[in-house]
Amino acid sequence: MKDEKNVYLVIGLGRFGQAICRTLAEKGKQVIAIDRTRQLVEEMAEVVDLAAQADATDSDALTKVGAKTADIAIVAIGSNIEASILATTILQDLQIPHVIARAENYTHARVLARVGANKVVFPERDMGERLAALLIHPWMSHFVQVPGSLFHVGEINPIAEMIGKTIEELDFRTHYSSVILSISRDGERFVPKKDTVIQENDMILVAGQKEDLEKWVEEKKE
């Protein structure tokens, strides 16, 4: 996929689709938004570059609103499973480079994958899993997962055993299976050296895999 000049096509302007549109628009991305319902289209008219009332299961209708110009299409249709499958199929026929589709269940997801969706997402399931993970591991609210990898990056205070020791003494990579990317101290951020001493009020930016991070990050008092 291309980076900065992608054109995004969002089909289905319910809460999920509108959230995608607003976020992309806030990031300065070019967005085409489509829905059958006029009211939903009007709500997005001032948000995106183009909002159009159209039937996403009609190839000609999609072509007329510029679907073929899209680099990435998101089929955000909710409960109308048939419509989401048809729209995904049409987008593949239109040779959209990357199609992301929302699934209601695993059977729906398998069908979407078979008709050409490059990625299938479960918004409700993913949000539920994320919330549960945050309840179990509150420290995760300070971390984000690096897209396309198992690594999480986040900023946190050092645990007690780190304070007063140098990076070399801690042997961070071996002992904690993580990497310190930088340290924020007294309003300044810097990349630590081997002889840098960890202080109590430091904020350390670390990267590591979730299972490695949780072995020691949870020792930190919330």
- Chain centroid to CA 3: how far? 15
CA distance 183 to 192: 7
Residues of the chain with pLDDT under 50: 1-3, 221-222
Please give the pLDDT value at position 210: 78
Domains and CATH numbers, the chain: 7-125 (3.40.50.720), 132-217 (3.30.70.1450)
Q: What is the pLDDT of residue 141?
A: 63
pLDDT of residue 214: 76
Kindly report, residue by residue over 79-118, the tens digit of the pLDDT: 899 999 999 999 999 999 999 999 988 899 899 999 989 9
Cβ of 30: how many Cβ atoms within 10 Å?
17
At 151-168, the pLDDT tens digits run 888 888 888 889 999 999
State the SS3 of the chain.
Answer: CCCCCCEEEEECCCHHHHHHHHHHHHCCCEEEEEECCHHHHHHHCCCCCEEEECCCCCHHHHHHCCHHHCCEEEECCCCCHHHHHHHHHHHHHCCCCEEEEECCCHHHHHHHHHCCCCEEECHHHHHHHHHHHHHHCHHHHHEEECCCCCEEEEEECCCHHHCCCEHHHHCHHHHHCEEEEEEEECCEEECCCCCCECCCCCEEEEEEEHHHHHHHHCCCCC
Q: What's the pLDDT at 219?
A: 54
Q: What is the pLDDT of residue 1?
A: 41
